[in-house]
Structure 1
Amino acid sequence: MAIVNPSRDEIGAILKKAKRIAVVGLSDNPERTSYMVSKAMQVNGYEIIPVNPAVNEVLGVKAVPSLKDIEGHVDIVNVFRRSEHLLEVAKEFAQIDADIFWAQLGLENEEAYNFLKEKGYTVIMDRCIKVEHALTR
């Protein structure tokens, strides 16, 4: 099936309700997009959970190696991994207690999308969470 994102109003409602965002592929390099976007979301009141086995800490928060290592509920899993890795991340996402799978701007994978939609998840692909947050405030 073709990738169809929720409407801008639905995305706005998701972002108003969400509190915890796990960021897969979050870099500790301040010049990387994942860092800049996550810092902006943190400044706007979201709890950011870095998910990256290659770093110890990002934005003052201890990183975890995988989604399965997060304690407690996750509202949004925001993914900064290349499109060919989205199915792998989607399968891990389906094993945790999370609500929304969000692949950042420029990232989409129809197989991952279909896998998650068939399980009833809300999926957003090829959208920047920082931009959507600014547009829906």
Structure 2
Amino acid sequence: MSEYGDTETVRRILTEDGDTWAVVGLSGNRARAAYGVAALLQRLGKRVVPIHPKAETVHGEQGYASLAEVPFPVDVVDVFVNSGLAGAVADQAVAAGAKAVWFQLDVVDADAYRRTTDAGLDMVMNRCPAIEAPRLGLI
């Protein structure tokens, strides 16, 4: 598989693209990767907005059932759903005016990557902020 998102793009998303991150797939389930990554994002100073059908409050932040229901601007959309569903989420991120989309480890959709970057957004796929932030010396 080719690499989607170079180090410069990863750094820009983590440091420059904005501090409000919608985490799609984030619920109150502490055993899920999204829960731990969201906590790390908060330690980096990000506001984490949980997006999950249950619309649970997680890490002290009100959840929403869909990205379209968030009543304020979102800068980055971090995607923890499977690759088959991720492309639609990327399209929703573009429609919502996000600046960047981040597909987590094992989430890959080359067509979504093309559509999202063609729309002018930063995007990385098959990466995790919990791995990239320490690698870049951000924590």
TM value normalised by structure 2 = 0.88
1:111 aligns with 2:111: yes
Secondary structure of 1:92's aligned partner: helix
2: CA distance, partners of 1:94 / 1:44: 24
How far is the alpha carbon of 1:120 from its aligned partner? 2.2
**Partner of residue 85, structure 2:** 85
RMSD: 1.7
**Partner of residue 7, structure 2:** 8
Secondary structure of 1:65's aligned partner: coil
Unaligned ranges ≥5, structure 2: none
Secondary structure of 1:68's aligned partner: helix
Q: Deviations over 1:51-86 (max 9, x none)?
A: 112242111111011111112322210000000001
- Supply the AA of the counterpart residue of 2:48: I
Deviates more, 1:122-131 or 1:109-118: 109-118
TM value normalised by structure 1 = 0.90
Secondary structure of 1:89's aligned partner: helix
Q: Equivalent residues in 2 for 1:118-129 (5 A)? A: 118-129=118-129
Deviates more, 1:41-50 or 1:76-85: 41-50
Unaligned ranges ≥5, structure 1: none
Give the share of equivalent positions with the same residue, in percent: 29
Runs of 4+ in 1 over 4 A off after TM superposition: none
Kindly tell me the number of residue pairs found equivalent between the two proteins. Answer: 136
In terms of fraction of residues, the more strand-rich structure is 1
- Supply the AA of the counterpart residue of 1:11: V
